[in-house]
Structure 1
Amino acid sequence: MRVTVVIRYVALLVTLLGTWFMVQTYFEGSWRAISLRSWLGITSKPNSKQLRQHKCGNQDCSSTHFAFKIISGAANVVGPSICFDGVILMSSVKNNIGRGLNIVLVNGTNGQLLKADTFDMYSGDINKLDTFLRQIKDGTIVLTASYDDAATKMNDKVRALFTELGSSHVSKLGFRDNWVFVGAKGLKKKSPFEEHIKNNKDTNKYNGWPELLELEGCVPRKMN
């Protein structure tokens, strides 16, 4: 009788050792990844150093910056879009874009939308844009996207006003060029947020127009 009991214990021990061996061999990687907290369904607290969630579908920005994304128009078919701090401010869907320059003004401290307007640079009145730019107050962030034609009506006075906002490329902007730009009133140096592509029949992606431009990043808040 005692021999039978011993045999049973030995068989049980062999079974346990075999099971342990299989687990170690085939599930070692995943086994190590299981912690007591995850097994109990307890999740870790978020890292306080983590950045905010993605806004405008682009990179993360810290609490001292605003996320933005600008897409220029594609030829004269697809309109531009301007997103700022997670909100689409201008787009074809919102039905508030137009041929020429599409410009958004936001408060540089709190990110509040101040104004959005379009300016026909092919057959419109350039004085409308001139007045608009001169009325921008210090601390305002300016986001610009071109569509179709951005420069036929452009003159030296308007180019100078954009230069004051931090543009490096407006002086070279020509007929049907594509241009996206983020600047600010009171900026003491050139803006790092600007892209420009020339209308060139040898390199144009579309018939008569260059390819669209995309610009995204984190623009710093204006601290009072």
Structure 2
Amino acid sequence: MPSKSSSSSRQQSSKSCCCCFSMRTLGFLAAFLALFSALYSYLDARLDQFYIFDQEQLHQISQRAVSNHGNDTRSMVNYIVKELEQSVPSTYVNTEEEWVFNNAGGAMGAMYIIHASITEYLIVFGTAIGTEGHTGRHTADDYFNILHGTQLAYVPGEFEPEVYPPGSVHHLRRGEVKQYKMESSCFALEYARGWIPPMLFFGYADTFSSTLDFPTLWATTRITGREMISNLLKMKL
């Protein structure tokens, strides 16, 4: 039989190995977090270098679409996409009009993804019957260029709604949050710039907590992933 001293020695050796492994693991995690934080800070301070869209230009295009096509939302969307093909490199514009439902923050509508990359997305979002929900608190600035209908927004402490008619833009600043409502038919050219991947968690959450609409989740993932990977291959962050 092994002696008590040898058994105790093996136990101490095992504890020592576990302790060393834990210390190495913690050291690796600390180094990784430090490196990630440094890289994030470096890139976050230089995000403007990666943008290919300009919000002021998008707003002007949206206003021209409203002015030229009135309540014909279909014609507005076609007009905007053609304008974008001429004003930015056409390889960054998805002209394949693939509409999918979008449930996020309790609101429901549909979207057409014109561009999706790590630092930007540009979509047409809206609904023909109205909706209401939570904007989400995001890692990007969001610009909602109203094409048709009216959007209402509310922040705690106010007693009157913010009102955004056609031709106007609702800017939801990075990190802020509001309640919003489209009382009836409303469509907008929505542009977000900042860190886009973290926003996907908000866009997916309702699928797992309420709708269980996994075919729509797959369609959204397929289109978004295709566009993001395609733009990364073009060196577009």
Larger radius of gyration: 1
As a proportion of its length, which structure holds more helix? 2
Q: Do Structure 1 and Structure 2 share a fold, with TM-score over 0.5?
A: no
Length-normalised TM-score, structure 1:
0.31
Length-normalised TM-score, structure 2:
0.29
